[in-house]
Amino acid sequence: MRYSSWLIGVKHRASLRNGPKPAAHWDCGQRGHRAEAKINNPEHIIHIWKRGYKTIKKIGEGTFSEVLKTQSLKDGKFYACKTMKQTINSLEQANNLREVQAMKRLSPHANIIQLHELIFDKESGTVHLICELMEMNIYEFILGRHTPLPDHTVKNYMYQLCKSLEHMHSCGIFHRDVKPENILIKQNVLKLGDFGSCRSVYSKPPHTEYISTRWYRAPECLLTDGYYSLKMDIWSVGCVFFEIMNLNPLFPGANELDQVTKIHDVLGTPDQSLLQKFKKSKAMHFNFPPKKGTGISRLIPNCPAPALSLLYQMLAYDPNERISAETALRHTYFREARLAEKNGEPFLRASGAIDGEESGGTHSSMDHICRPSKLGKQLRGRHARQTPLTSHNMKHVAEPVIKRNITHYCTALPKINMVAPRPQIPYHSSTLPAFTVTHRGTLPALTSKKCQSLLTKPRDESPHAALKTYCVPPLDRKHRGY
């Protein structure tokens, strides 16, 4: 037994020594900077290796967890391993973690990150969540772009994001931290991840005050002592919606007060009745001078009218007037996406994006996304907890000019299988026998007429060609009538 343990330890050390060398240390001050980072605790690598996973590199770290790209030694598939920094005492306690419970309850869903396996290290009390690996998050997707995304691409991602929230809310969970870093994409598929801040919709307020990232925090989270509900997720989705279209954040507040000020600069100061409702649950008294907002339409002048309508309904100041995820899916803006889903075909293919190439000039492949030469944006109002379950070995090139999204229609109608009657030998109408009918009242007399075929000739012939004429053949008498 001692010799076997010693031999396993030698293999572990050899695999670590021969493995890929991580590069620079992860810098949380640079938002979205995907440089390879050193793995702080090599013991985690050894424990994961014992459970059948090989560590490739570190792809993210936050306040509460770090994310490693791993490969299964069984089937060779790649996964994202999210290692919790919180110490757990037992496997039962690990299974009762809020994030684990949420992922199990929400699974399976096409727009929710799937939990593949939970690994618990009893000696160190560390929990590893093996999840599916995505290519990148929305923030990295739009980072450094100089041209806006095509409308059908924005519509496709927003439709899937609303579907993920509708599924969450129907399961009795709201996310509380929807932001571009937690929205993961892989080609044309979008999935919502990072459920460490989620909460049950049936839990009674007050909730945690300083939840969600500041730039995407709803007014009720800013102005109350934790009296908010699932509608806060819709506000965050509205902020993400604007950021995908405009490529810039809507309310980049430097602090809590500046965040409220930026909201009022765009949407205007709400009515006093609404502010009084917020004041009932706030120990601090606040008074905002009346201000008329500039409006969202001035910030995105080329935004389609249906998208602008949905955006205003998502960013309603009063949470009671804010649209729900279920109602948002029925909005006019998503009509084409609903029709494509009903017909069982991908929305981007129905919109003209075929074989991984979008008609608007952008490519769904991550190798054709514009990347800046320097990634030096500061965090500015965002939490340091960034744990996207993504890989980051993608290169980016400049993107061509956007073309109009022209809907393609079928050029020909489907053929109808119809057998034409064979030409018959004409007979004289005088050969037809007499046919008498006994009926009440009077019926019009039967006269023999020539029948004309209603079938048209093939496409290469003129539609005005003469029609074939046929005559009715005589009826042969049988032993029981005609």
Contacts of 45 (CB under 8 A, 6+ apart): 16, 39, 55, 68
Strand 173-174 relative to strand 451-452, pairing: unpaired
For the beta carbon of residue 14, count every other beta carbon within 10 angstroms: 10
- Between CA 392 and CA 37 the distance in angstroms is 12
Quote the radius of gyration of the chain (alpha carbons, Å): 33
Question: Whats the size of the chain, residue-wise?
Answer: 482
Are the beta carbons of 207 and 230 closer than 8 angstroms? Answer: no
Structure tokens at 145: 């772009």
How far from the centroid of its chain's Cα atoms is residue 150's Cα?
15
Torsion-angle region of 118 (φ positive above 0: left; ψ -120 to 50: alpha; else: beta) = beta
Bridge partners (DSSP) of residue 192 are 112, 183
**82 has binding-site annotation:** yes
- Burial category of 306 from C-beta neighbours within 10 Å (exposed 0-12, middle 13-18, buried 19 and up): middle
- Between CA 446 and CA 194 the distance in angstroms is 81
| Of 190, 180, 192, 110, nearest in space to 157 by CA | 190
> What CA–CA distances, in Å, run from 300 to 243, 247, 360, 362?
10, 10, 19, 20
Indicate the helix (H) or strand (E) that contains 473. Answer: none
| Of 181, 191, 263, nearest in space to 221 by CA | 263
Active-site residue set: 177
Provide the 8-state DSSP code for 429. Answer: G
CA end-to-end distance (rounded Å), the chain: 99
Strand order in the sheet with 183-186: 136-137, 183-186, 189-192
Work out the angle at residue 257's Cα, subtended by the Cα atoms of residues 253 and 260, and round it to the nearest 5 degrees. 70
Crossing angle of helices 42-50/2-18, nearest 10°? 120
- Between CA 198 and CA 174 the distance in angstroms is 6
Structure tokens at 446: 């039967």
In the annotated binding site for ATP, the residues are 82
Residues tagged in the binding site annotation: 82
